[in-house]
Structure 1
Amino acid sequence: MIFADADAAALYDLMYPWDPERHPGDAFYDGLVTAAGAVLDVGCGTGSMLHRARERGHTGRLAGLDPDRAALERARRRTDVEWVEGVAADAAWDREFDLAVMASNAFQCLVDDDGLRASLAAIRAALRDGGLFAFETRHPQARAWEDWTPENAAEVVDVAGRALRVEHRVESVAGDVVTFTETVKDPDGAVLRVDRTSLRFLDAPELRAFLTGAGFAVEAQYGDWHRGPVTGESRIIVTLARRA
């Protein structure tokens, strides 16, 4: 059985549906998007956040950026949103958006200093003066990767009716970068697909330093989706920064 890129994109939507009624993180971003006239979703994936914004009556400009062609093909099912294939560092918008977001921990895909700085510079350039940049990352103190094991695999049935097992395995932890694999198997254990990903885990002061260096003013950092403070128990860091 072939498990193509398009299958992987569809599986993502099935496993991680965008639902502000059920997920407080989705509700957090949904509120920001609703209040903004022009929105750029960096790392938009299959476009679920912007799809919902249009469905709920957002009449302003909505644009999604992502390097994953298969994910963008799903996003492009809705044609009243701009969809751009590419990475943040190569974006060339100039003061066109009120809000830029990187949801679903997309910020953690920026794993090296040069790429992170280039991405922040491009995102800042895309924002109007005073524009807001919002994103979340997993707090390194929670060591989320320790739960990414085959024993914590998910059993799912995809849109084609196929029973699948999705498991994760950490390959390396090098400084603040964690590299892991996601493996999709059929019920008999046959491997259908293996994807490898590296994510960077930065703490709150490190995030502030990168943002300040890129010309942002950090407005707030929260330790949960209800705008509570970052504490020794926080599992996430939600950051709001404005173009200074």
Structure 2
Amino acid sequence: MDFTDDDVAELYDLANPWDPDRWPSDRFYDGLVAAAGSTLDVGCGTGQMLREARVRGHQGRLLGLDPDPAALGRARRRTDVEWVEGRAADIAWRREFDLATMTGHAFQCLLSDEEVRASLAGIRGALRTGGHFAFETRHPQARAWEQWTRGDSGDIAFTDGRVLRLGYRIEVRGDVVDTTEVTSLAEGTVLREDTGSLRFLDVGPLNVLLAESGFEVEGQYGDWRRGPVTPESGEIITIARAT
């Protein structure tokens, strides 16, 4: 029972459908993209946000960037959006975009200050002066990882008829959490295990890195209703302006 990279990308879409009418996080980004003439989505994955923006009538330039060829394979089903394989640190576009985004906590995949600086430099270079970078990272004080090993995703009906579940194992190393995502059949047979790591930056260090990279924080929120960041906040949602 092989479970391929293409299957993983498809399962991601099933488990995380993009729906601005249902999810406040999707609505937050949908509004920003709709108001921007051009958007670069860094870590676009399967491209759901940009595909939905086009469906909803966006007429400007939309470009998705991601290092995962399987995810981009799903994204490329929509041919009126640009899709490019690569990472933020390798961005070569200069002053071409009004908005850059990193959704789905993709920012947390940058595991060191050096990675963050290199990625922010690429994103800053792609933005016009005065353009905006919007992204979110989980607030470390909320300790979200403690919830990930409690139970599983519940049943997910896969398109080939199998019923799947996702579960997690974790290990904490300072501000980095190593994850193992376990994909299994509902009856327990494990199909695949995928490892990854996420960094949990706090507000102070995050904002220092942004300032060093040519960004000024315009808004920073603890929830998708644009409430303030507090010690109880689950998110650090940032809109930064390229100076």
Per-residue deviation at 1:134? 0.2
2:164 maps to a residue whose letter is L
Structural mapping, 1:6-17, within 5 Å: 6-17=6-17
Secondary structure of 2:17's partner? coil
Superposition map of 1:1-244 within 5 A: 1-149=1-149, 151-170=151-170, 172-244=171-243
Q: Distance in 2 between matches of 1:187 and 1:40?
A: 37
Q: How far apart are 1:150 and its partner, in Å? A: 5.5
Q: Deviations over 1:28-58 (max 9, x none)?
A: 0000000000100000000000001100110
Normalised TM-score (structure 2): 0.98
For residues 47-89 of structure 1, what are the alpha-carbon distances to aligned partners after superposition, in whole Å with 9 as ceiling and x for unaligned?
0000011001100000000001000000000001110001110
What percentage of residue pairs aligned between the two structures are identical? 64
Any conservation in 2 of the 1:150–1:169 contact (CA below 8 Å)? no
Contact 1:41 1:102 in 2 (8 A): yes
Structure 1: 5+ residue stretches without partners: none
Following the alignment from structure 1 to structure 2, what is the Cα–Cα distance between the partners of residues 31 and 153? 28
Q: 1:157 Cα shift? A: 1.3
8 Å CA contact retained: 2:76, 2:83: yes
Q: Give the secondary structure class of the aligned counterpart of 1:196.
A: strand
Asked whether the equivalents of residues 152 and 165 of structure 2 are also in contact (C-alpha less than 8 Å), the reply is no
2:41 is matched by which residue type in structure 1? D
4+ aligned runs moved over 3 Å, structure 1: none
Flag the 1:45–1:125 CA change in 2: closer, same or farther, 3 A.
Answer: same
1:115 Cα deviation (Å)?
1.1
TM-score, length-normalised on structure 1?
0.97
Q: Secondary structure at the match of 1:98?
A: strand
CA separation in 2, counterparts of 1:210 and 1:234?
21
Computed over aligned residues only, the root mean square deviation of the Cα atoms, in angstroms, reads 0.9
Q: Is the Cα–Cα contact under 8 Å of residues 19 and 27 in structure 2 kept in the other structure? A: yes
Equivalent residue of 2:151, what SS?
helix
> Secondary structure of the equivalent of 2:155?
strand
Distance, in Å, in 1 between the alignment partners of 2:60 and 2:10 is 27
Secondary structure of the structure 2 residue equivalent to 1:31: helix
Cα distance in structure 2, aligned partners of 1:223 and 1:164: 32
Secondary structure, counterpart of 2:26 in structure 1: helix
Does the aligned pair in 2 maintain the 1:153–1:168 contact within 8 Å? no
